Amino acid sequence: MLGRGRFWPTREMARAALVAAGTFVAAGCGGGSADVEDAQHSTAPPRGPRPALCTSLRAQVTGHVAAPAATELSGLVLSRSQRGVLWTHNDSGDRARVLAVAPDGTALAEVAVAGAENVDWEDIALGPAPGGGDALYVGDIGDNEGQRSSIVVYRFDEPRVAAGRSQIALAQRLTLRYRDGAHDAEALLVDPSSGALVIVTKDFGATAGVYVADRPREETTTALRRVGELTLGAAEPVTAGDLSADGRTLVVRTYDGAFAWSRRAGESLASTLRRSACAVRADLLVEGQSEAVALTADGRTFYTVPEGGQPPIRRWAPVR
């Protein structure tokens, strides 16, 4: 969500982000902090296979979200186990619920999230559930004024979509605290290897902070340690992130564009982010106020959805 005191980037400013690939800079270089991962500043091209998204993309409107509850969608993720199910949610001001919609916009389900409240929900991700299978992680991580002493990620088993039935999911509350003070953030990722939570802050400047909570637990507050900075080359902020179901492609988006990495099997997301990204050539600014991104299973295309009533769902795929 665009907060008070912020500005909307001009098209010229936004396009500048696509001139150079993103670079992850390890935090604490020269500081010797025990809380910081060992990493090197890297400006080398991405190692390993080049992500399929590293080309020009074209959008196709696949439908409009028909759910009346969808008024300010802020997060989006594609189910790994249920074909044609996109999970989404509204930004601040809504009650604690997630919506399931089809790529053509058909409303599939509305699930109340018990044990949760929506202070400022900004992103949604899939990750490992403690008992096995997939869990949804909803990031109540927005903080436009930079005043929250702690933030929350809600984790619950991915519901099975049952059209026409009222559904409730019981969430675990994972309370997190930044060691270096409050931050606004809109991008949440879950490491498939370790279950660690990765948050990229929403900074209006050349860099964004990358923070990790290694083993979050429900009964305590987990410290978020800063592991580095993500440099995208312009003043445009990061508004979402996602990892493909096959675990091979990582993407973060801004208002205007996106950046992608190839991830090795078993590699931590923080390690992936250390390497240079490629710029995805897609003019996402045409959507207006749009913050969400959901990769397809193979990481070759992604879906987006903007805010507003009956918003269009777009599928971005390489130009052929």
> Per the domain annotation, does 307 fall within a domain?
no
Q: 145-158: per-residue pLDDT in tens?
A: 999 999 999 999 99
Residue 288: domain span: 11-298+312-318
Question: What is 186-249 written as a DSSP string?
Answer: EEEEE-TTT--EEEEE--SSSEEEEEEESS--TTSEEEEEEEEEEE-SSSPPEEEEEE-TTS-E
The 10s digit of each residue's pLDDT in 227-240 is 999 887 665 899 99
What percent of the chain stands above pLDDT 70? 83
Query: Is 60 part of any domain?
Result: yes
CA neighbor of 2 nearest in space, from 200, 259, 236, 265: 236
State residue 163's pLDDT score: 72
- Predicted pLDDT at 82: 97
Query: Does 50 map to a domain?
Result: yes
- Residue 239 sits in a domain whose CATH number is 2.120.10
| pLDDT tens digits for range 169-226 | 999 999 999 999 999 999 999 999 899 999 999 988 768 999 999 999 998 999 999 9
- Residue 44 belongs to some domain of the structure: yes
- List, for residues 65-101, the tens digit of each pLDDT value: 999 999 999 999 999 999 999 999 999 889 999 999 9
Q: What are phi and psi of 13, to 5 degrees?
A: -65, -40
Buried b (16+ CB within 10 A) or exposed e, 220-233: eebebbbbbbbbbb
> What is the Cα–Cα distance from 277 to 300, expressed in whole angstroms?
15
305 falls within a domain: no
Q: Is position 304 within any domain?
A: no
Whether 187 maps to a domain, the answer reads yes
Q: Return the H-helix or E-strand segment holding 14.
A: helix 11-16
Amino acid making up residue 29: C
| Adjacent-strand bridge partners of 243 | 250
pLDDT digits (tens, 9 = 90+) for 278-293: 999 999 999 988 999 9
**Structural domains counted in the chain:** 1
State the Cα–Cα distance between residues 102 and 312, nearest whole angstrom: 12
Contact 252, 240 (CB under 8 A): yes
308 has pLDDT over 60: yes
Asked if the structure places residue 5 within a domain, the reply is no
